[in-house]
Structure formats: C-alpha cells, structure tokens
Structure 1
Amino acid sequence: MKTFKNPIIPGFYPDPSICRVGEDYYLVTSTFEYFPGVPIFHSKDLVNWQQIGHVLDRPSQLNLDGTPNSRGIYAPTIRYHEGIFYTITTFVVSATGARKNFYVTATNPSGPWSEPNWLEDAPGIDPSLFFDEDGRVYYTGNRVPPEGPQYPKHVEIWMQELDLEKKQLIGPKYSLWDGALKQIHAQEAPHLYKINGYYYLIIAEGGTGFTHSVTIARSKEITGPYEVCKTNPILTHRHLGRNYPITNVGHADIIETQNGEWWMVCLATRPYGGHYRNLGRETYLVPFIWEEGWPVVNPGKGIIELEMQCPDLVETRWGTEPACDHFEGSELGLKWSFIRTPKEDFWSLKDRPGYLRLKTKKEVITEEVNPSFVGRRQQHMNFSVRTKLEFSPLNEGESAGIVLLQNHNYQLRVEYGLHENQSSIRLIRRSNGQDELLAIQPITTDLLYLKIEAIGQAYSFYYGTTPETWNLLREDVDGTILSSDVAGGFVGAFIGMYATSHGQESCNYADFDWFEYVGY
C-alpha cells in the first residue's frame, strides 16, 4: 500500500481550490498582501504538486498599495469550462474590510491570465463559480442576511447568475443557506456541484480558528430549499482537542478522479511548541466516499491523518527543487514573493549576474509598505537558512540581512549596517510594534555569511566572514512571535532578504550571492 504524507503543500498555502482537466489537476491558494498573487500548482496524482505560475503576476492585475496586513487576496476558486480556466477571488482592500470581487481567465493555466473582471454589487468574500448543465453560470459567495444577522458573525450563502458575455451578475439574488451549525458563525467558502441529480453546497463554518469545519447541504433545485446533511459537520478536528497534531480543519473543495475516486482538499494547521502556528494554514488531502447521497470523509475515522493511502493514480513526481538558489536565472523562481506590489525596480538579477541585488529603499519592513524584501514561506518546523551577503553600508541607517517575518509588527531581523557611526551586526526582535535589540556584534566587512537554525520554536543566529566558520550571535530565541496566534491575522511566516536606508534616500545596494533553505 503506497501512502502519502500530509500536508500535500506545506507552509502558508491556505484556502485551496481544485479542478481537473482530463488527467491533470490544478490547485490555487490565497496570498493576502503578498505579490505575485494566487500561486497555481499542477499535479497528475493529487499528491505531488509543482508550481507552474501565479494567476495575478502583473501590477495591472493586482495593486496592493496601502493594503493592510492580512488583507488583500482571499480564497480563490479555480474552475475549467469549455477550454477556459476561471479563477475568481476577493480583494479585501482596506483595514475596514472593504471588498471587491473579480475573476480572471486563461486558456493556459500557467498564464498569462486576463486583466480582472470586476463584479458590481457582489458583497461578501470567498466567491465561487458553478457551470450548470444548461449552460448557465452561477456565482456564490457569503453576505450578511438581508433581514440582518441573528447572532454575531451570522452570514449566509447567496447566489446570482453570471453573464459571461457582459461579465456582470444578472437577475435576482437568492439566499441559499445559512449553515448547519446555528450560532457557530462565519458561514463562508461556498462551492456548488451537481452530482447524481442533486445540487450540493459545501461551505466552511466556525471561523478559521480551532472551531473550523466543513458542512454540506443538497437540493434538487439550484435555488433551494437545501436539505441539511444530518451528519454535519462532515469534517472537523475541533473535537480532537488542541494537542492533536492537525487542527483548524476547514475550507474544502472536492474533485472526482478519472478513476471514479473522490477526494477533498482543505486547509489545516500543524501547531508546534504549544498552540503556535508559524507555518500558517496549509493544504491537505483526504478521501471520501458517498453513502446514501452524502459524503463520508475518510471512512471509519472521519479525520485527516498525517499519513494516508495514496489515490488510485499513477505516481508522478516532479524534479526536486534545489535547496540553494544561486540567482543564476533571468527571473526569480516561483517560490519568491514580495510584500505588496513592487512599483519600482528595487531588485535585479542582471546588474550583477549570479547575484540578487536589493536596493536600500527608504521604506522599512516595520511599516505596511512595499519594502526592499524578497522572501519565501517557512515550510518546516525545523529548518536552516544560510546566505552570502556583500554589502558596504555608507550612511547611517543603511542595513541589509535576513528577516523572519510574520507581519510588520512581529518579526526577527538579523541586519548588518551602520548605526551610530559604527558598523555592526544586530539581531532585533519586533513584537507588538516595538523593536528590542537582542544582540549586537561590532564588525567591519564587505562580505558576510548569515545563518539561522530553527529547532521547533528555538531560533539560533550565526554569522561569519569565511565559508562555514560560524560565530554565534544569539541562541534559542523564542520564535512564537512568528505565529498568527501571537501576531494576529491569517498568514504564515516568511523568510527573506532585506535592505533598507530607514527613511533616507539612498543609492546603495546589497548583493546576495545565494540563499539556501533546508527543511528537516
């Protein structure tokens, strides 16, 4: 019996949505304030996934200027119909939660994707598309019930027809369902399907925290009324306790394989070192069957497991991605992200071939701006990061180094720069918006090696001026500030390279020769 390990996509890849085209599977996830937006993955066997691009990879598609932490792109849905891929999502544009829903299209899932088609009078979040057998297309999302909420965070699932030629919603809005678990709150993430003559509506309830869950209802008519499954929730882990290794299970999408098996992708988290989730919400895979017209998830157990039996599909592995990026290509790899949309060329792979050059922008990573930062997701509980940095600080406040980032108010930074006319390496912990100097090492050099090793929530920091000769800067720093359980919000931790001039105009730059991430 072949098995696979969950999560199938580790690290901050939440709110998965999936579609199948023949023997190929495509999956997208949320990105919030990070750019490019909405990574898209390809698989042949539902277990091994390869990123093939981003859905929103141009500033014209996604302008994140001024977007607060944990706002931005929420819960995309991907669907395929008659030769065209559709991805629909929500752009939460402000701290007050102002929302705009839009969809984009492509004939090739790796892109290019179209410019956004913005939908008017489409309240709520988590939009999805359903293509019915009669050729009509429907939009589903959530909203406050028209008659008003009956309890805190009471929302309902609503539906309206979408005219693909006019690219707008048309006709009446229909209230479909306000969930199976009254008072649980936060009904969201709706997906409609038609299976064996029934319209099935799968949603998430209970919020994105510990009480997250998946529920389902069905109807013979798309507009309802919807019959509630008596075994709801069909998937949750909240009854297993906070010490169970997989928690916060919810936000599901389902797919039937070409061999007739049914599988569900959903999000969940792996707390460690206590109930801390530095890795963010990850993508998981679990099988289900149909009994008397209703899903039974992982029969006999009803939960997601860290190791499960593989789908009945031919295993297709992709080439292993190198642990070390030597920046020898003409473009950054797909794993790299920016904070918000870059509007200027603050980074380059061409100015010094074989190096990633970051300009010392005046923007700082402690504000909700677009700093000179290039990062990747933390994907393991235990990992090490190393980089080779060439940098000569010329003016007060210029610095460069590595950042472990949860958001602008919670982070760990190891920086080499000029402070009070003295060049030094500094380790700074930022918590609740306040910087604390944990370690400082005066040093003058043009070349620096930096290393971070994390064993669970213990993060240790090292530096050196020659290869593989490491000096301890600070050992066993508490990493729990990199969890949303401390910092708030919805994102997972990022690790990346950073340069700044701390509010001053600067023509300086930092060159990173390579960046290595090893998880274990």
Structure 2
Amino acid sequence: MPTIRNPILPGFNPDPSILRVGEDYYIATSTFEWYPGVQIHHSKDLANWSLATRPLNRRSQLDMRGDPDSCGIWAPCLTHDDDRFWLVFTRVKRKDGSFKDAHNYIVHSKTIEGPWSDPIYANSSGFDPSLFHDEDGKKWFANMTWDHRRRPLLFSGIALQEFDPEAEKLVGPRKIIYYGTDLSLVEGPHLYQRSGYYYLLTAEGGTAYEHACTLARSKDIWGPYETHPDKHILTAKDAPFNALQRSGHGDWVEAPNGKHYLVHLTGRPTTHERRCVLGRETAIQEAYWGDDDWLYIKNGPVPSLHVEVPGTRDDEPYWAEQNYTFEDGLHKDFQWLRTPEIERIFSTEGGKLKLIGRESIGSWFEQALVARRQTHFSYDAETTIDFSPTDERQFAGLTAYYSRYNFFYLTVTAHSDGQRELLIMSSEESWPDGKLRFPTDPVKIPNEGKVRLALTIRGKKLQFFHALEGEETLKEVGPVLDASIVSDECGGHQAHGSFTGAFVGVACSDLNGTAAEATFDYFGYLPRKDESDRYEI
C-alpha cells in the first residue's frame, strides 16, 4: 500500500472530524474567527484532499463581529444518517478568564455542497459538540461541560442528551457520562458503535504538548464507561523529539476494505522555542482492532510521520506556484475575518481586489483583511497595490498575520503632511498589550504610482521588499524579522490559548472613517524549499 507523509491537511486545519459516505471521505475542521465558517475537505483515497465547501457562509448562519481572537467556530463534527449530512459546532464569544460563553448549534444539508440550513440552537453548557446516530434511530448530542467554580481545572466531563430532529431541540435528561483520566481537560467527544459496545473517543491534556486521544467504552450509552487499557491511544506527550507534536483531538473512519484510520490534530514545531508557525494541522494514522475489541494505533501511541493509505499523493499541486487574479471573484483559498457583510470590506469588480479601509488591523469587529493560509515553512508572496493615503491614519499593504497581537505588515501610508511612504508595522512580542513596533524608519516614495510589495520567509527569517512602478528589481525594506513569532505559541495567549495559524494576505485601514480604498492587481504565493525546513512534506 502507498505511503504518504503527514500532515494530510497542512497549515491551519485543526480539530478534524472525518466521515465516509460511499467512496467519498470528508474532513471538517475548525475555522475560529475566519469567515466563512468550517472547512470541509474531500478525498477519494485519504491521500489527496481538496476544499469542498465552507458551509457557514451567510449572515443568518454566522456573524462573528466582536468575537475575540481564537474564538468563533470551534470543533465541528460532521456526520451522515443515510438521509442528510449533519454538522454541529460551537460558536465561542468568550474564552479567557473564569467563564466560557460557548453556544452549540446544528445545521444540516442533503448534499455536502449545500445549501446548509440555518443553525438550530442546542445548548451553551460547554463546547466541542458531536452528534451520534444510534442504530435504533435515536440521535445523541454530546459535549464537554464547563464549571467556572472548579479550580484549577474547569473542565467537568462529557455530557450526553438526546436530540429530537423533528422538534429541533435537545430533549430528556442530560447526564455526565465520562470524567476523563488523570491527564484531565477532557473534551472533543465522538461516539461510535461496534461489537455491542458504545465507544467514546475524547481529547485530553489541552491542545499543547500534553495533548492526547483517550478511548473508553460501555455496553450502555449512558455508561459507565471503562477507559482503554493504555488510556491514551494516541499522544506525543512522552516523545518530545517526534516530528508530530501536540497530537490529539481525533476521529476515526472505516475504509471500504475494513481498515480503520484515525485523523487527529497535530503540530510541527520549529526553532529552539518549539513554535508551530503553521498552527494545528490534520494528520492521519492507521488503526486496528485488537482481540480485546479495543482500537489501537499502528506503531502507536506516538503518531507516525509516514503512514500507509489507499491512495498515492500527488505532491505537484502542493509545490505549485499560485498566481491569484480576481477576474472570477475571490479564490477559495482566501478567507477574511468575522463579518458576513463582505460588501463593506472588499469587492472584485473589474477583475481586481478592492479593499475598503475600515478599522485597524487586528480589530475584532470590522477590518478589511483578505488572506490565505501559510501552508509551507518557506515561501515568497507578492502583490501590487494602488493606494493614495492622505495621512498616517490610512494604510494598506501586505501582511503576515496571526492575530491582533502578532503580525508583520508592510504598508503604504503617508506622513501627516501627506507625503506617501512605506512603513513596517509589527506587533512582535507585544503580548499582552498589543503595542506596535516599527523595526525601521519610514521610506519616502512618490505620491503617485503603483507599488509592488513582497516578502520572503525562509524558516524563521522574514524579509520585506518593494519596487516602484516601472522598476523591475525588488529592494529590501527593513531588517530581517523573526517569522516564528507568527505562531500559536506567540499568538497573544499562554499555552492552550491560541488556536489558528499563520496567514499571508493584504489589508487596508482608514482610521479617519472615510473608507479609503486600496486596489490589488494580483496575489502571488510561491512555495520554497529551504534547508531549515526539517519537517516539510
């Protein structure tokens, strides 16, 4: 059987939920504050994946304005009941401090492409919901629960309640069915049926380097659940030098040939600081059933970098240069932040990307920022901007972005006297205050003409460049910057608090409130291979 190299969904693609319908496999992953909500990838062979849809794509389904960084859409669960697809997810409004404001919803569709229904409200008792379709026809809703009185760990177990699809609500008693193990922080529940047992797969240990998949089972769906003899069927917590770290939050699927596979969250740290620039990614492991009716990971519990799957991966698309133009609208690789009212932040009329300056970069409400995931440790990116700022409160340009606390931003802006200039804005190592740094003095440029902006990332080294209209050669702007800052570990929170990944794209702000517009002719993304990229696919 062919061997592929993990991850199967590189870059920011966390909390995978996998489903097979006939010969088609689907994986749903979290999108947090990025719009539209939830990514669903499709494959025929578990090796080659393509983005099929982002189902939460209209205001009646999702409006995340005001949601803090790494809030928004958490941990979707995708299932099928032989009639329609079901997707459950959490919408998080607050995650820091003693409280979690997390609301769970259900949507459904006859086809994976949609249209998907408006959300059905389920509950707000915790996050990471899942929907299980029992053989007897009942549907069960499970989620972790949260108790703000517990110290120091606020996770209080996995709750179960029946869902009535006709009434479109949870009904009957709710019960905590599993409290997890001594690793604690039990979350991410998925239920299955096999050989007379209900199996409960959970995530434990948080989403950093202690992360794990824990399995339990019971003859009765209400429990009691006994924990797997190995406790954790997948984890890298005791293998600090393994290529795949932070491994947990999984879901399994059976292939037509009877083999089982577990998909799971993982991270590939780089630098001595162990920073996961590409965020939390999706990997796959082969699994098997033991004579004791327990699931085990082949060569586990430590996740393998190389795994046998039915298909052979075509790596050519992964390394292909992407030259995005806008004649046919915004390419599916791109997302924006929080708002469903895209007409207020961008348009592609005339075959160009026009950004409408709104709030500052990093705003939790309305900012014009359009970007794609960083999916390679090293790459080049460039664009051409047409922008005529009048003062320092108008700025637009090229950004390597993680969150309001962590980004690098080469802007076309102006001095207070109206003289146009280039300025690098950085929030490097600014947590928790988010104050800007300016790594170099502004560079004066003519007040008329387009400007070509570019950046290169080689491992942890980021360099900005520019060229004026009519110039062919790019010139360096500013010093070499630490690209590893744009990572989970520096995303504005302590461990277990930043959940997305690095993006690269374009942005525009007008803090005068006059909606100044910046126009971009194209966007280029060119993957590069660099000797520092130890774990590149």
Q: TM-score range by the shorter chain?
A: over 0.9
Q: Is the 8 A contact 1:386 1:515 kept in 2?
A: yes
Q: How many residues align?
A: 509
Q: Which residue of 1 aligns with 2:115?
A: 112
Question: Any stretches of 5+ residues in structure 2 without a counterpart?
Answer: 529-537
Q: Which residue of 1 aligns with 2:535?
A: none
User: Match for 2:499 among 481, 490, 493?
Assistant: 490
Question: Structure 1: how far apart are the matches of 2:439 and 2:321?
Answer: 32
Question: Structure 2: how far apart are the matches of 1:69 and 1:323?
Answer: 28
Q: Deviations over 1:163-188 (max 9, x none)?
A: 00011111111221111x32x22100
State the one-letter code of the partner of 2:243. P
Question: Any stretches of 5+ residues in structure 1 without a counterpart?
Answer: none
Q: Deviations over 1:256-304 (max 9, x none)?
A: 01111100011010111121111110011111101021111023x4322
Note the 1:33-72 alignment, pairs <5 A: 33-72=33-72
Question: Structure 1: how far apart are the matches of 2:151 and 2:102?
Answer: 22
Q: Which residue of 1 aligns with 2:247?
A: 249
- What TM-score do you get using the length of structure 1 for normalisation? 0.94
SS at structure 2 position matched to 1:352: helix
Q: Which residue of 1 aligns with 2:174?
A: 173
Q: Which residue of 1 aligns with 2:480?
A: 476
Structure 1 residue 323, shift from structure 2 partner: 0.7
Note the 1:379-390 alignment, pairs <5 A: 379-390=375-386
Q: Is the 8 A contact 2:327 2:348 kept in 1?
A: no
Structure 1 residue 485, shift from structure 2 partner: 1.1
User: Match for 2:356 among 359, 383, 395?
Assistant: 359
Are 1:86 and 2:90 an aligned pair? no
Using the TM superposition, name which of 256-265 and 375-384 deviates more.
375-384
Question: Structure 2: how far apart are the matches of 1:390 and 1:476?
Answer: 25
Structure 1 residue 313, shift from structure 2 partner: 4.9
Q: Is the 8 A contact 1:144 1:154 kept in 2?
A: yes
Q: Is the 8 A contact 2:19 2:253 kept in 1?
A: yes
Judged with a 3 Å threshold, the aligned counterparts in structure 2 of structure 1 residues 294 and 145 are, in CA distance, closer, same or farther, namely farther
Q: Deviations over 1:427-455 (max 9, x none)?
A: 12112311111122111142111111111
Q: Which residue of 1 aligns with 2:420?
A: 423
State the one-letter code of the partner of 2:2. K
Question: Structure 1: how far apart are the matches of 2:472 and 2:75?
Answer: 42
Judged with a 3 Å threshold, the aligned counterparts in structure 2 of structure 1 residues 403 and 85 are, in CA distance, closer, same or farther, namely same
Q: Is the 8 A contact 1:21 1:80 kept in 2?
A: yes
Structure 1 residue 456, shift from structure 2 partner: 1.0
Are 1:126 and 2:124 an aligned pair? no
Structure 1 residue 112, shift from structure 2 partner: 1.2
Q: Is the 8 A contact 1:347 1:356 kept in 2?
A: no
Q: Is the 8 A contact 1:396 1:419 kept in 2?
A: yes
Judged with a 3 Å threshold, the aligned counterparts in structure 2 of structure 1 residues 69 and 145 are, in CA distance, closer, same or farther, namely closer
Are 1:30 and 2:16 an aligned pair? no
Q: Deviations over 1:213-236 (max 9, x none)?
A: 011011111111112111121110
Q: Is the 8 A contact 2:4 2:313 kept in 1?
A: no
Structure 1 residue 480, shift from structure 2 partner: 2.8
Q: Deviations over 1:313-359 (max 9, x none)?
A: 58789977761101120x31221111111425135554322x11111
User: Match for 1:459 among 449, 458, 462?
Assistant: 462
Q: Is the 8 A contact 2:67 2:94 kept in 1?
A: yes
Q: Is the 8 A contact 1:267 1:284 kept in 2?
A: yes
State the one-letter code of the partner of 1:380. H
Q: Deviations over 1:339-389 (max 9, x none)?
A: 111425135554322x1111122x111332220111111111111111111
- What TM-score do you get using the length of structure 2 for normalisation? 0.91
Question: Structure 2: how far apart are the matches of 1:200 and 1:438?
Answer: 53
Question: Structure 1: how far apart are the matches of 2:65 and 2:259?
Answer: 43
Q: Is the 8 A contact 2:347 2:355 kept in 1?
A: no
Question: Structure 2: how far apart are the matches of 1:315 and 1:376?
Answer: 22
Q: Which residue of 2 aligns with 1:157?
A: 158
Note the aligned Cα RMSD (angstroms): 2.0
Question: Structure 1: how far apart are the matches of 2:45 and 2:153?
Answer: 41
Are 1:285 and 2:281 an aligned pair? no
SS at structure 1 position matched to 2:192: strand
Question: Structure 2: how far apart are the matches of 1:405 and 1:371?
Answer: 13
% same residue? 33
